[in-house]
Structure 1
Amino acid sequence: MVAVQRISQLDPSEFTGAMQAAEKITKVGRDGRMQRHYATFIHNPYFLERWARMAGTVVLRNALSNREKMLVVMRLARVMRCAYAWTQRQAEKDPSVYLPDLHTKPQDHLSQEEIEVLARESPIGAWSRHESALLAAVHESWEQGGISSSTWSILQESLNETQMYDLVMLIGYYLMTMSMINSMGVPNLPDDPAAPWAPIDNGSPA
């Protein structure tokens, strides 16, 4: 199922001069494509230009390991019910053109069983104490607006202050990004797999 585009995706033939300038700094991947959600975000090219720079800093210049980042982002896709972020990460052969901008796939860092657990309503699985705290940080940030003191203390057992900072930035960035993608109706491709959860009315494809 394809989402109803609430904000249209623009074709490069429609780009203004400002949009063309913004496009140049957003192209990624082996063939230099622009990420598909950026074709929606580019309605405000000044916003997109600064957004893309922030994304590169928050995601790629991040002190967490790729596995830690992938755990956080995939679980965020589930709690936000962002089908675009979830399905594109696994369907696209060149993952750098889709969320979560990690230039890698979940399967590179997580087992298929772990991915299936992350898709559940409750992600109870064979996680380490540290990884369970990462998942708790996602849920607490989403449900109560921030990480609890008990979860923060557990994370501090494994992460230094820079990594703690980068974790907070990563969660905040994707909460905002996935909310925008859902609400604007950024579509999946017609042959993309359905997200493994029941759809709700948040703009995201089922």
Structure 2
Amino acid sequence: MRLNAPRIAPLAEQEWSDEQRELLTRGNPARVLNIFKTLVRHPDLYKRWTPFGNHILFKSSLPARDREIAILRVGHLCRSGYEFHQHTRVGKAAGLSDAEIEKTKIGAAAEGWTDAERTLLQATDELHGDSFITDATWSALVKHYNEKQVIDLVFTVGQYTMVSMALNTFGVQIEDAG
């Protein structure tokens, strides 16, 4: 975590307006995460951002495992402790082992990745570092992923880079266990 305390505190439940309560409890979540309790302070943005974020997380054409490899790599590259922490759990649910999650910190150079995973990590690094995928990486990427999947990959890296920036800057803290 870059900050030990939030710059923008998560909104306590007793502070929620009716609109915020509706936004945060839509779908009746058992637990509302700090990211959402922070971002809902701007309800108009929250309402417009969540459909996009939900596409990336729940409706992407990328296989869940590949999506999580890219997200974990972005979280690491952006030094977003919150993002990496949350997606460690999501990554495990998508079939990643603890060792593979740790390897996302090393990236494409780590031993044991498939060619597709190595290319996915290389593309993620290039997008993060230069906002562009090189021709060589693109040629390798399209051998493993179709057009929709490549589009989803670019937008996944962009979404989680943007979210990591917000989490880091606002100081969103990892939830207490329990």
User: What TM-score do you get using the length of structure 2 for normalisation?
Assistant: 0.88
Matches within 5 A, 1:24-35: 24-25=25-26, 28=29, 31=30, 33-35=31-33
Matched residues, number: 177
Would the aligned equivalents of 1:75 and 1:119 in 2 still touch at CA under 8 Å? yes
CA RMSD of aligned residues (A): 2.3
- State the partner residue of 1:44: 42
Cα 1:117–1:41 shift into 2, 3 Å: same
Cα 1:37–1:135 shift into 2, 3 Å: same
Would the aligned equivalents of 2:20 and 2:43 in 1 still touch at CA under 8 Å? yes
> Higher helix share goes to which structure?
2
Q: CA shift at 1:129, angstroms? A: 1.8
Report the AA paired with residue 4 of structure 2.
A
Matches within 5 A, 1:112-151: 112-120=98-106, 123-151=109-137
Would the aligned equivalents of 1:27 and 1:34 in 2 still touch at CA under 8 Å? no
C-alpha deviations, 1:143-168, integer Å up to 9, x for none?
Answer: 11121121111110011111111111
Would you say 1:153 and 2:139 are equivalent positions? Answer: yes
Q: Whole-Å Cα distance in 2 between the matches of residues 121 and 134 of structure 1?
A: 9
Cα 1:180–1:123 shift into 2, 3 Å: farther
5+ long unaligned stretches in structure 2: none
- State the partner residue of 2:75: 77
Give the match's secondary structure for 1:109: coil
User: What TM-score do you get using the length of structure 1 for normalisation?
Assistant: 0.77
Would you say 1:7 and 2:8 are equivalent positions? Answer: yes
5+ long unaligned stretches in structure 1: 96-103, 192-206
> Which contiguous aligned blocks of 4+ residues in structure 1 show a shift greater than 3 angstroms?
24-28, 120-123
